């Protein structure tokens, strides 16, 4: 049983992720962002390359592990003065990337966010019965929304995992 007051057990529930595994998960996350971006671009051009179920499941499998690894590895153990609460032994740290990396991340996130929101605006509650073109547009909007959300999550996961890799590389150099 986990007790907050016991020393040495505060991060026992977190996974230990090697640098190679984190790099693999980051590359998967980048691939998921690319997958979502290509499919959204094709949908904006009027072409649905793959069915929605395949598109979303592939994006989810590529993006989610990297996002989780990025969040988990950006936690740091609190050192020095003990926190007020016994439950707070580690804190989440924002990514320490170069400014250009943060700007690119923000722009990509905004693009996916805009793609998702514009898809919601294009959806109708009930497409007219018998209008197959309206039904196809509805499915395209749903796919674009799901891929916009997963692309945004993947963008954040990529930045978080890259920040962890960069921080680990800097600490390895400085000793």
Q: Is the model's pLDDT at 49 over the cut of 90?
A: yes
Overall number of domains in the chain:
1
pTM: 0.77
Range of the domain at 73: 19-174
Within-domain flag for 2: no
Task: Residue 58: name the closest of 35, 89, 34, 88 by CA.
Answer: 35
Within-domain flag for 14: no
Within-domain flag for 64: yes
Question: Averaged over 72-87, what is the pLDDT?
Answer: 62
Within-domain flag for 105: yes
Assess contact for 62 and 49: CB atoms under 8 A.
no
Q: What is the pLDDT of residues 100-118, one digit of tens each?
A: 888 999 999 999 999 999 9
Within-domain flag for 4: no
Within-domain flag for 123: yes
């Amino acid at each position: 049983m986990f007790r907050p007051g016991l020393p040495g057990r505060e991060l026992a529930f977190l996974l230990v992720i090697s640098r190679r595994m984190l790099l693999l998960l980051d590359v998967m996350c980048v691939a998921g962002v690319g997958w979502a971006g290509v499919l959204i671009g094709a949908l904006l051009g009027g072409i649905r390359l793959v069915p929605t179920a395949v598109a979303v499941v592939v994006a989810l499998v590529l993006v989610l592990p990297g996002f989780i690894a990025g969040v988990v590895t950006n936690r740091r153990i609190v050192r020095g003065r003990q926190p007020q609460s016994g439950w707070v032994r580690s804190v989440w740290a924002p990514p320490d990337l170069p400014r250009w990396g943060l700007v690119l991340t923000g722009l990509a996130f905004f693009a996916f966010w805009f793609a998702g929101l514009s898809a919601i605006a294009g959806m109708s509650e009930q497409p007219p019965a018998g209008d197959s073109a309206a039904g196809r547009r509805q499915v395209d909007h749903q796919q674009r929304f799901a891929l916009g959300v997963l692309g945004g999550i993947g963008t954040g996961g990529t930045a978080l995992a890259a920040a962890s890799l960069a921080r680990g590389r800097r600490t390895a150099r400085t000793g």
